[in-house]
Amino acid sequence: MTSADTPPAVTVSVTVNGRLIRRPVPPRRTLADFLRDELGLTGTHLGCEHGVCGACSVFIDGRSARACLTLAVQVDGLRVDTVEGLDQFEEAARLRRAFSERGGLQCGFCTPGFLVTALELLRDPDAEKPLTADTVREALSGNICRCTGYQGIVAAVLDAAAPPDSADS
């Protein structure tokens, strides 16, 4: 395709991890590639690129979504939060600590997606509390881990939901 045939870029304004970004993007650019290749936010990982593995999960206006199944032009005017921006949520630090303590990761490829999905569950006012292993497994069913397995991940999310040392938190 010659450059004359290339569809025009679309200017997008999006708040990523609290920072307002404004730049033209080709319509075909996925949000995942926009975050990684244009903004250098490589914490969002790309596995399957068709919505199965969950590694590219990010928050769009506070709800988890597949960045590979979202076009950058679709988030114009919206708020995107990636794994790099999770510290704005008070649960993030203890969730990461629990993943470390429980061995909830090995190679780490899937971890950003798990953190985003788990954080949404921890913060979901509609989720039945206290969380059980079954509800955690169902909520995380869209994130695939191919090395360490799910036992440690589920245990970590349950720990973060009800920290053993601080029952009042």
Partner 1 sequence: MKPAEFTYHRPESVAEALALLAENPDAKLLAGGQSLLTLMNLRLARPSAVIDIGRLTELGRIFDDTGDLVLGALVTHRMVEMDPLIAARAPLMSDAARYIGHVGIRNRGTLGGSVAHADPAAEMPLATLVLDATFHVDSASTGRRQVAADDMFVSFYTNALAPDEMITWVSVPAIRPDQGWGFVEYAHQHGDYGLAGAGCLLTLRPDGTVGALRAAVLSVADRPLLFVGDDAVGQTPSERLWQDLGEDWARRTEPAADDADYARRLCSAALTEAMTDAARRAHAYRGEPDDLS
Tell me the one-letter amino acid at 21. I
Do the strands 10-16 and 79-81 form a parallel or antiparallel pair, or are they unpaired? Answer: parallel
| Residue 11 host element (H or E) | strand 10-16
Give Cβ neighbours of residue 76 (< 8 Å, ≥ 6 apart): 10, 12, 13, 14
Q: Quick check: 43 binds partner 1 (CB under 8 A)?
A: no
Contact pick of 2, 88, 126, 164 for partner 1 (by CB under 8 A): 126
- Under the criterion CB under 8 A, does residue 20 sit at the interface with partner 1? no
In the shown chain, the binding pattern of residues 136 to 155 toward partner 1, with x for contact by CB under 8 A and - for none, equals: -xxx-xxx------------
Name the site residues for partner 1 (rule: CB under 8 A). 1, 5-8, 10, 26-28, 30, 33, 49-51, 54, 57, 60, 63-66, 68-71, 73-74, 76, 117, 120-121, 126, 137-139, 141-143
